[in-house]
Amino acid sequence: MPTIKDVARRAGVSVATVSYVLNNTGTVSEATRQRVLKAVEELGYRPSVIARGLQARESRMIGYSWQPMPPDQFNPILEKFIHSMAEAAARHGYHVLAYPCRTPANEVDVYREMVESDRVDGFILTNTNLDDPRVRYLLDVGFPFVAFGRSNPDWDFPWVDVDGADGVRQAVNHLLELGHRRIACLAWPKDSLTGQYRLQGYREAMADAGLEVDPAWVIRTENYYRHAYRATQRWLTLPPDRRPTAVIALTDLMAIGVMNAAADAGLRIGPDLAVVGFDDAPITGYLRPPLTSLRQPIAEVGERVVTMLIDLVQGQRPDPAQVLLKPRLIIRDSTRLSACTQYVTRNT
């Protein structure tokens, strides 16, 4: 493994200057700083390896970045997750260093800078995907991290995820019990790994029921209200014998778009078109009618990712290293059959 002396020799500076750059101390010109960081990258030097496990050098900080939401969207899961993660970290004597990254292409650069400067002891990642560059970088440099979400199946790293496929299967089975057979799915684009898992659950549940999925019943769209609204309008133009009687949306925001488009077309939500969302955002219980949705165990996710990361920081491999949690279907009036039929709302 390269040493700090190797870095100093490659950059043409003293060992003290390298230390100043890596620890953000002393006065160093920007040109010298960049020369040192370039040498660090070329040699693959990791100062944190030396300090890791030594209490005096621990930052007691957990790094976490997120992409800010557009003004016309909401992400209650992100809010719940940050809250639960911060609470769990505080219980263990750690703090969360949260920072926004507006440009995904530059996100790895931020991670690299924080690794090289030893500002955090580890990272928690969210919104992971296939070939995720953040996961690949942190695996390559051997820096501790835990992800809320999965990535490539052959990449061995610790993660906690919610079983979206199981959740959507629950939703399909609920609609089947109510007598629905023409069940549509408002899905995400193909490049979303989370969306692929949830769509897989829909297809599996329909196949298990012996139902063939009409290609028109699956529409892929981004997580935008207007996109969901227009997708629903497309479904409503289908012939009566092909028109869906129920829709499963992959987020509550999309489900609201479905409900409003159907209501604007004169349909009753529940009796004429059943709607199921995903996430169980706080607003779902106040809609008219209240929305049936899948609740994610976010508090447990926050606790688990933090405790697993602390194990890694302390040199221990979490056991288990991969955790898949099940969501729970919360049944409300958006899937009731008629005005005379009532379903118990399970909010606890």
pLDDT in tens, the chain (348 residues): 687 778 889 999 877 688 778 766 557 788 888 998 999 888 888 754 434 443 335 688 999 988 777 777 777 788 889 999 999 999 888 999 988 876 666 788 888 888 888 889 999 999 999 999 999 999 998 899 999 999 999 999 999 999 999 999 999 999 999 999 999 999 999 999 999 999 999 999 999 999 999 999 999 999 999 999 999 999 999 999 999 999 999 999 999 999 999 999 999 999 999 999 999 999 999 999 999 999 999 999 999 999 999 999 888 888 899 999 999 999 999 999 864 444 333 333
Q: Which domain holds residue 3?
A: 1-45
pLDDT tens-digit series, residues 40-62: 888 888 754 434 443 335 688 99
Q: What is the count of structural domains for the chain? A: 3
| Same domain? 87 vs 184 | no
| Same domain? 66 vs 29 | no
| Same domain? 125 vs 216 | no
**CATH number reported for the structural domain that contains residue 292 in this entry:** 3.40.50.2300
Residue 215 lies in a domain: yes
**CATH number reported for the structural domain that contains residue 17 in this entry:** 1.10.260.40
Residue 139 lies in a domain: yes
| Same domain? 168 vs 281 | yes
CB within 8 Å of 273: residues ≥ 6 apart: 244, 245, 246, 247, 258, 262, 267
Contact 174, 207 (CB under 8 A): no
Phi, psi at 318, each rounded to 5° = -60, 145
| Same domain? 192 vs 275 | yes
Segment holding 264, helix H or strand E = helix 252-264
Residue 348 lies in a domain: no
Residue 343 lies in a domain: no
Residue 342 lies in a domain: no
| Same domain? 64 vs 150 | yes
pLDDT tens-digit series, residues 198-228: 999 999 999 999 999 999 999 999 999 999 9
| Same domain? 305 vs 157 | yes
The rounded distance, in Å, linking the Cα atoms of 289 and 255 is 12
| Same domain? 190 vs 203 | yes
| Same domain? 66 vs 142 | yes
| Same domain? 147 vs 221 | no
| Same domain? 126 vs 205 | no
Residue 318 lies in a domain: yes
Residue 136 lies in a domain: yes
| Same domain? 128 vs 211 | no
Contact 297, 160 (CB under 8 A): no
CB within 8 Å of 254: residues ≥ 6 apart: 186, 221, 223, 224, 225, 227, 228, 277
Residue 344 lies in a domain: no
